[in-house]
Amino acid sequence: MNYIKNRSNAPIGVFDSGLGGLTVVREIRRVLPREDIIYFGDLARLPYGIKSERQVIEFSKQNASFLLEKGVKALVVACNTSASASLSILKRLYSAPIIDVIVPTAEEALRRTQSGRIGVIGTQATISSGAYEKAIKRVRKNAVIFSNVCSLFVPLVEEGRLSGPIARAVANEYLKDFGKKRIDVIILGCTHYPLLKGVIRGVVGKDVELIDSAPSTVLRLRNELRERGLLAERKRGGLKIFVSDRPRNFIKVGERFLGQKMDSVKLVRL
Enumerate binding residues for its own copies (CB under 8 A): 43-45, 50-52, 55, 124-125, 128, 151-152, 154-156, 158-159, 161, 164-166, 169-170, 173, 245-249
Q: Nearest distance from residue 114's CB to its own copies, in Å? A: 32
- Note if the bond before 47 is cis, omega within 30 degrees: yes
| CA nearest neighbour of 78 among 194, 186, 187, 214 | 214
Q: Nearest distance from residue 248's CB to its own copies, in Å? A: 6
Q: Nearest distance from residue 200's CB to its own copies, in Å? A: 15
Q: Give the separation between CA 179 and CA 40, rounded to whole angstroms.
A: 37
Q: Give the separation between CA 106 and CA 108, rounded to whole angstroms.
A: 5
Q: Give the separation between CA 194 and CA 257, rounded to whole angstroms.
A: 9
Contacts of residue 72, Cβ cutoff 8 Å, sequence gap at least 6: 10, 11, 12, 13, 38, 96
150 included as an active-site residue: no
Residue closer to its own copies (CB basis): 121 or 185: 121
Residue closer to its own copies (CB basis): 33 or 155: 155
Residue closer to its own copies (CB basis): 56 or 90: 56
Residue closer to its own copies (CB basis): 12 or 19: 19
User: If you ran DSSP here, which 8-state letter would residue 11 be given?
Assistant: P
Catalytic residue among 79, 102, 214, 241: 79
Q: Nearest distance from residue 150's CB to its own copies, in Å? A: 10
Catalytic residue among 10, 157, 190, 208: 190
Query: For residue 240, what are the β-bridge partners?
Result: 38
Report in angstroms the alpha-carbon separations of 139 from 77, 87, 110, 111. 21, 18, 8, 11
What are the catalytic residues? Answer: 79, 190
